[in-house]
Amino acid sequence: MRERATLRRQVLAWVSIPLGILWAVSAYSDYEIAQRFVTDAYDRALLESALDIGRQVRVLRGRVYVDLPEVAVQMLRSRESGQFYYLVTGPDSEYITGEPDLKPSRPAPSGQAAYYNDTYRNQDIRVAAVKLPVETEELRGLVTVQVAETLSPRTALLREVLLGMAVPQALLAILAGVVIWFSVGRGLAPLAALQREIERRSHRDLSALSVANVPAEVRPLVESTNGLLHRVSMVLAAQQRFIADAAHQLRTPIAGLRTQTELARRQTSPADVEAALAQLQTAADRTTHLVNQLLSLARAEPSADNAQPLQKVDVAVLAREVTTERVPRALAKNIDLGFESGDALPPIAGDNFLLREMLGNLVDNAINYTQPGGHITVRVTCDPGTLTLCVEDDGPGIPEAEREAVLERFHRVLGTGVEGAGLGLSIAREIVLRHGGTIRLLSGQDNHGTLAKVTLPRAA
């Protein structure tokens, strides 16, 4: 697997690209300026040489000649600028002096110099040509003076100038890269310290990370990480609390099962064994019910992983089905269990299984606490933006001071004589909260009994 580049390398790479482009543009600009400077300097020197030769032009007996001493010619040829050539031609392009095989000059206005590149004796040369007027009584016309030199001295000087300009710029770019490298390392030092702090931590330590020395650009990341740590700690705390509560609640029925099993083994008569087994089955049923409730509570926890996507649920149909399923149990206690609903109620977005569990717990709780001959009504109504689900009974009711407490897990109202683990209402609350709704415990009609009122948001 290819290793990802570090942040320092990425920053250096992204900075090096524009630095390289700027250096290339600067080098090209330096080349153009240096070439212009070298060309102008050498061209002026060539023009001065041509003018010096032109000043030596004489006319004698109608003929043009150049009074140029050999010493002067040797001086021109021995210049540091390189090999030097010249040619002087008369008004009719006749040869006067210089290199006879030098190519004729290109046209140029009188009194102005013409500069151009050419080849001579297999060498690249630079030529300066100027036409100078000759006006005497014997002759009038234009004398052409051409001077040329090889380009190698110009190239050498241009290279020297470019090296003198480009090399320092390249060194500055490299120095900037080094400074950026160490500056980024310095800027990332707080992140390295943060990394060491996280590495030294125990897996049990989920406290927030310090943001005191963290750069402003990284602070949102650290704060988001702290938020995640807080949520993870809450989930772990909820899981640990659930495990502790479950272990505590299961200890008693399992101990009872063990005791009743031992009693059943001691019985000798079939009748006593049958009675002990019946009690053992009842205890097993209660334990199974408790385990199922614990599983439902774990599934309803906000931290639980709900892989099932939310779907549109018809609460009226669901409530009718749940109520119908509980009718035999209500009839066994001589309780009148009824259902009321409006017509064409809109659906809600939810988990059908959890909503069925929630409503079933509310109805079961009402059946458990309603005396024989009592009444229970399951009602579904529609309000603007919400659906309201009510389960009302005329049982003993819940004291107002304990209505919030009974929604907590394992809390039961004393003195009711009803067996249970105190999980039904807490499971219902967790499911309601998971669906973004609210649940309230109120007094029933005429301040008798209990009204469990659930409000759920309608589907968008």
- Residue that wins the pLDDT comparison between 170 and 76: 170
- At residue 414, does pLDDT exceed 50? no
DSSP characters over 11-76: HHHHHHHHHHHHHHHHHHHHHHHHHHHHHHHHHHHHHHHHHHHHTTEEEETTEEEE---HHHHHHH
Residue 215 has pLDDT above 80, yes or no: no
- Is pLDDT of 278 > 50? yes
pTM of the model: 0.46
Residue ranges in 188-218 assigned as alpha helix (H): 189-200
- pLDDT of res. 307: 47
CA distances from 280 to 200, 249, 285, 329, 368 (A): 53, 18, 9, 22, 22
pLDDT(222) > 70: yes
Across residues 40-53, what is the average pLDDT? 88
- The pLDDT assigned to 27 comes to 82
DSSP state of 445: G
Highest-scoring range by mean pLDDT, 273-282, 382-391, 422-431:
382-391
Residues 247, 249, 251, 257, CA torsion sign: negative
Q: What are the tens digits of pLDDT across the range 133-142?
A: 887 766 778 8
Assigned architecture for domain 311-457? 2-Layer Sandwich (3.30)
* Confidence category of residue 334, pLDDT binned at 50, 70, 90: very high
What tens digit of pLDDT does each residue of 291-307 get?
666 666 566 555 555 44
Q: What is the per-residue pLDDT for 164?
A: 84
pLDDT score at 82: 59
Cβ-Cβ contacts under 8 Å for 458 (sequence gap 6 or more): 346, 347, 348, 385, 386, 387
Q: Summarize the confidence of residues 309-334 as an average pLDDT.
A: 88
Does 436 score more than 70 pLDDT?
yes
CATH code linked to domain 7-159 = 3.30.450
Query: How large is the average pLDDT for residues 66-81?
Result: 65
CATH of domain 219-300: 1.10.287
Give the position of tokens 């160490």. 182
The percent of residues in the chain predicted with pLDDT above 70, rounded, is 82
Q: What is the mean pLDDT of residues 252-264?
A: 73
Residue 121: what pLDDT? 86
| pLDDT tens by residue, 82-112 | 588 889 888 888 888 888 888 887 766 666 7
Delimit the domains of the chain by residue range.
7-159, 219-300, 311-457
What mean pLDDT, rounded, does the chain reach?
79
pLDDT in tens, 448-458: 888 999 999 88
Q: Quote the pLDDT of residue 230.
A: 83
> Three-class SS of residue 273?
helix
Query: In percent, how much of the chain has pLDDT > 90?
Result: 7
